Amino acid sequence: MRTAEIRRRFLDFFAQRGHTIVDSAPLPIDDPTLLFVNAGMVPFKPYLLGQTPAPYPRAASVQKCVRTLDIDDVGRTARHGSFFQMNGNFSFGDYFKAEAIEYAWELITRPVADGGYGLPESRLWVSVFHEDDEAAGIWRDRVGVSPDRIVRRGIVDNYWSMGVPGPCGPSSEIFIDRGPAYGPDGGPEADEERFMELWNLVFMQFERGPGGGKKDYPILGELPAKNIDTGMGLERMAFILQGMDNLYEIDETRPILERAAELSGRPYGRGGDTDVRLRVVADHIRTALMIVTDGVVPGNEGRPYVLRRILRRSVRAMRLLGYGDPALGELFAVARDCMSPSYPEVAADFDRIREVAVAEEEAFDRTLKQGTGILDLAVKDAKAAGHTRLSGASAFKLHDTYGFPIDLTLEMAAEQGLEVDREGFTALMAEQRRRAKADAQSRKTGHGDMSVYRRVLDEHGPTKWLAYETLATDSRVLAVLKDGEPAREAGEGDIVEVVLDRTPFYAESGGQESDAGLLSGGGARAEVLAVRRPSKGLVTHQVRVLDGTLAVGARVQAEVDAEWRLGARQAHSGTHVVHAALRQVLGPTALQSGSYNRPGYLRLDFSWRTRLSTDTRSEVEEAANLAVRRDLPVEVRYMPLARAREIGALALFGETYDEQVRVVDIGGAWSRELCGGTHVEHASQIGPLAITSESSVGSGSRRVEAVVGVEAFRYLARERDLVSRLAEELKAPREEVPDRVAALVARLKEAERASERLRGKLLVAEAAELAAKASDIAGVGFVTATAPDVAAGRALAEAVRERYGRPGVVAVAIPGEGKFVLVTGVSEGARGLGLSAADLLREALGGRGGGTPSLAQGAGVGTPEALVARLAELVADRLAARE
């Protein structure tokens, strides 16, 4: 049974039982605790945690997930994949244990001909929390599972919580016996490779208090409404139903693996490193495809870094398999064909997706070249210092800073006769992972801070948000929060969070900065600094109290700064216009991947590989301003998400949308996007628009910045004044300024070339003069000199060395603070006598420095005179030894 069919059967089964089918949320979900969705329940967290009422009593989904904590196990086990899909059914205060257990068992054992998965009951085991007699009784009495296949397990295995105060409860799992070939008999307690978990049912029925670990917390009591959260791993079910040993061989990954094997000429199935690398490729290519589809582009931090790491591990695996040509474009095409039956957007947006992958592979190839050069220097320094090992710190820097894989460092260092301090590298990696886990835990425990918002929401209900309708409201202060804790009031100078019953302020979202303005009333005035939505339905205002006391229960006038809002509307509508102009000029693959706008300013990131030429940038700017001049109408409509997609509305990557969405049209289909921001009513209200910069923000992604309205006038005025001043200085008409500046630059470059030629002549003259003053050491001339900098020192040493008529050695000192640099040159005749610049310098410096037999340099301490004298002694000793 194909994976897409397993998915379809799951959704059909639960749709027939009254569940609302919810589309998968994008992988980069808007959640401060996560980089990517890592479990099927994540999009439903606000409902499960009681932060906001669920819009439906029961739901089902197949959620895309990414986990990378176990990335090093990918390819080595049957179950570890960085991308997976979690089938889940959920109840929000509707049905509970009996129905959840019966639904799971019915679907998993129902015959294939009747729409089920047809797993034989004789191969299935279940587990329950050891105190959950209710669940054990349902499995035994209502479902009919034999008691000897119902395993009772402790709190670590069969009890769920978020790790912070809130909902918790026992869980129950369904396992399948894969047979004696996979391990010993005895059920899940004996071996979880043989008895593999397929489905986990979580019964959220209690509330837990504070505490650490998986069991060190109190149970405070039962929840008023009990919830169900289940998860069935789609890939696990696929490799069971398809008769495979692991998730890398199912229909959504095996074609990628086989194409990688074909390209590399390394067949799969013979075991060892080859099989592991092919599995890594199959897993990582699919993961990267799905991440890029959801709008992430490679970068150096956060989600972009995770994507970069996954892509580069894929490339590295192909290189280790012996394939050196570009591979990602072709492998992504195979992955597209595997995934598009379930996710049509993969095929619809494939040109952009492929461009991102190809650009990153090209960038990584450049990194490998750069890293190779850096590694060569590190090896050379280690050898010069007499070391036989490359330090762990050097290997870690190559890995962490330059993306240079450790296995490549090991191979290349070994080729040059050095080991690598693997223990030191591993310790630094472990420390990095510890910091990352600590950071993840700190983000996770951020849910503890949400409790105060949940209490406010429970007590007062959602904020009446009127930002689209008015700039001022008469409001009541519902809550004042100081440092995350409730307070009765705030005094002059305090910075606090305030919750109002109604508000006209736009809360920061969708790239638009929040409104500015004032709260005033009862002798108090407070400046609004930021507005946000910490929980769905709740709006909070960060304010600085300017005068008086702002107290809970007070009546205030909440007023948005009208000029601020106007500038914000111009900038947000301007962002849509620039996006449409980019797509008009560059084509439909130039899709927005992120944006930010504030009054008068906008920034837009979009998918594109190359720098925009001056002419292209001007063309985009002109297309945007023509839309403004034509005064295109701006229309806001509300409609179902499915309808918005039908009419071609563009969604911002990474955003999660409700089933009812807001569509903003500028000029009809010319610019049609899903958007919750504030906008002008006609394009002419945007005012002039000027693009101020265009730059790279990562492989396959560019950024344009622009100003609009009054800020555009000011920018253009500054540009005009600059040109006027240049014209005045050059005494030329304004239209001739570019040619005059170009001529000046050309003349300056010619003057620099002439200066270099003169400097060369002076060096030759100085070299001849120095050579004439050379001292004699056993028939070899010895020349000493000083230079102002290293470049001049090397040039002088080379000039003396090449123009010395007989065997000679030259030493040029470059003074510095606390230490100095010494450059040593040895002429061809002196090299014939066995003298080497690199050997002489290293011995004089005690092992430091490096270079070639003809030219070397290194840093010394003490005085240059003493070191030059030491060099003279070494020359004499070497020549004496020859005799």
Question: Which residues share a beta bridge with 781?
Answer: 776, 808
- CA–CA distance, 81 with 67 (Å, rounded to integer): 8
Structure tokens at 390: 């490359």
The residue type found at 488 is: R
Q: Are 118 and 109 in contact (CB under 8 A)?
A: yes
Please indicate if the annotation marks 338 as binding a ligand: no
Q: Are 236 and 198 in contact (CB under 8 A)?
A: yes
- CA–CA distance, 583 with 666 (Å, rounded to integer): 14
Please indicate if the annotation marks 387 as binding a ligand: no
β 502-503/464-465 pair status: parallel
Q: Are 207 and 220 in contact (CB under 8 A)?
A: yes
Cβ burial, residue 739 (10 Å; 0-12/13-18/19+): exposed
- The position carrying tokens 């007023």 is 559
- The position carrying tokens 């080497």 is 836
Write down the number of H helices and E strands in the chain: 26, 35
Question: Which residues share a beta bridge with 222?
Answer: 206
- CA–CA distance, 873 with 871 (Å, rounded to integer): 5
CA dist list (Å): 296 to 28, 143, 576: 8, 45, 20
- What DSSP line would sit under 827-845, residue for residue? -HHHHTTT--HHHHHHHHT
Q: Are 531 and 540 in contact (CB under 8 A)?
A: yes
Residue 462's nearest CA partner among 52, 35, 854 is: 52
Cβ burial, residue 634 (10 Å; 0-12/13-18/19+): buried
- CA–CA distance, 870 with 822 (Å, rounded to integer): 12
Beta carbons within 8 Å of 45's beta carbon, 6+ residues apart: 31, 51
Phi, psi of 616 (to 5 degrees): -65, -40
Beta carbons within 8 Å of 854's beta carbon, 6+ residues apart: 801, 825, 826, 827, 828, 831, 837
- The full 3-state SS of 734-752, as one line of letters, equals HHHHHHHHHHHHHHHHHHH
Structure tokens at 159: 């009890």
Please indicate if the annotation marks 579 as binding a ligand: no
- CA–CA distance, 57 with 66 (Å, rounded to integer): 27
Q: Are 543 and 496 in contact (CB under 8 A)?
A: yes
- The full 3-state SS of 246-309, as one line of letters, equals CHHHCCCCHHHHHHHHHHHCCCCCCCHHHHHHHHHHHHHHHHHHHHHHCCCCCCCCHHHHHHHH
- The position carrying tokens 């500028």 is 666
β 20-21/58-66 pair status: parallel
Question: Which residues share a beta bridge with 673?
Answer: 650, 664
- CA–CA distance, 730 with 817 (Å, rounded to integer): 43
Residue 510's nearest CA partner among 571, 586, 584 is: 571
Please indicate if the annotation marks 399 as binding a ligand: no
- The position carrying tokens 């397993």 is 6
- CA–CA distance, 782 with 826 (Å, rounded to integer): 10
The kind and range of the H/E element at 797 are helix 790-803
- CA–CA distance, 65 with 28 (Å, rounded to integer): 10
Structure tokens at 77: 């086990």
- For the annotated binding site, the residues are 572, 576, 675, 679
- For the annotated binding site for Zn(2+), the residues are 572, 576, 675, 679
